[in-house]
Structure 1
Amino acid sequence: MFHQMAGLSIQSPFTTTSVLVFHLLLIPFSKGQSQLIGPSQPIVAKIGSDIILPCHLEPAQDVAAKTLDWTRSDLDPRFVYVWRARQELLDEKNPSYLGRTSLFTDELKHGNISLKLSRVKPADQGRYKCFIPKEKEESFVELVVGK
């Protein structure tokens, strides 16, 4: 492979194939290889029941020390659950979810960020976002509430 530079021909030691192989070898080490996974179908819950909104990181990694958010964009404040510095942060949480949401904190070390929602109400119906801000990873879960 030759490059023209100011009228000179310079031979490159890298061929297209070697550059491609180099990039393919780096892919497993690049940031952003993990992905948040949620359900492909809506979660259906009955009023008054307890349900789990599934969300996990693949490949699994410890997220206990990370910032984790569960939100609904149609709410104000939008936060359903906020995890900071290895604990739940209640100040930013939407009041309608106080005492009704939790994470499986023992499972955070395995990348499980699933949200348990207790005593489901009709107003809980909507689109939830599971989010790791620093990683810019997100997944969405649709909750349908029936009688």
Structure 2
Amino acid sequence: MCFQNSRMLHRRDGWSFKPQLRAISALVFHHAVVLFLLTRHCGGQPQMVSPSQPIVAVVGDDVILPCHLEPAMDASDMTVEWTRPDLEPRFVHVWRSGVELENKKHPSYMGRTSLSPNRLKHGDISLTLPRVKLSDEGTYKYSCFR
């Protein structure tokens, strides 16, 4: 079941789950605004939950692409990948077993993305993207797995 509410439930248990893939689309309305639309695909447990409403960012602003696991569980030792299929390499952010793999990222995202290690402990896999650029337009996919 997917939930419209993006609040995180702080429930800790040892559920294992299959990799899930979601997508976020970013559209440019004009030269100063970037729209991030989050879509979801539900399956397996726990689920990755993100809001269904578009996220709007002005070029130059910081944006958080929200997503969390429900039920909440520690994701700090998991693999979390944020990708854009239209890029080569496709990785926007890669987190594996407690470490960010900066060398896997597309050059345009070097030093520009982050996950919060403290929030990962509660299942929050939201991506922070500071200094939004027009070139950030695209479809963002994310997955989280053990």
Structures share fold, TM-score greater than 0.5? yes
63, 74, 84: which one aligns with 2:96: 84
Asked whether 1:130 is paired with 2:127, we answer no
Change (3 A) 1:46 1:111: same
Name 1:137's counterpart in structure 2.
none
**SS state of the match for residue 103, structure 2?**
coil
Deviation track 1:10-61 (CA, whole Å, cap 9, x = no partner) reads xxxxxxxxxxxxxxxxxxx785320001120221110000010001000100
Q: Distance in 2 between matches of 1:51 and 1:115?
A: 8
Name 1:119's counterpart in structure 2.
131
- TM-score under structure 2 length normalisation: 0.68
Highest CA radius of gyration, 1 or 2?
1
115, 120, 132: which one aligns with 1:108: 120
Structure showing the higher helix proportion among its residues: 1
- TM-score under structure 1 length normalisation: 0.68
Asked whether 1:58 is paired with 2:67, we answer no
Provide structure 2 residue ranges, at least 5 long, that are not aligned to the other structure: 1-14, 18-43
C-alpha contact 1:55 1:130 (8 A) present in aligned 2: no
Q: Distance in 1 between matches of 2:115 and 2:16?
A: 28
Query: Per-residue deviation at 1:91?
Result: 1.6
Name 1:41's counterpart in structure 2.
53
Q: Distance in 2 between matches of 1:77 and 1:114?
A: 21
Q: Distance in 1 between matches of 2:115 and 2:134?
A: 21
Asked whether 1:74 is paired with 2:86, we answer yes
Q: Distance in 2 between matches of 1:42 and 1:127?
A: 13
Q: Distance in 1 between matches of 2:77 and 2:115?
A: 13
Q: Distance in 1 between matches of 2:107 and 2:74?
A: 29
The Cα RMSD (Å) is 1.5
Identity among equivalent pairs (%): 58
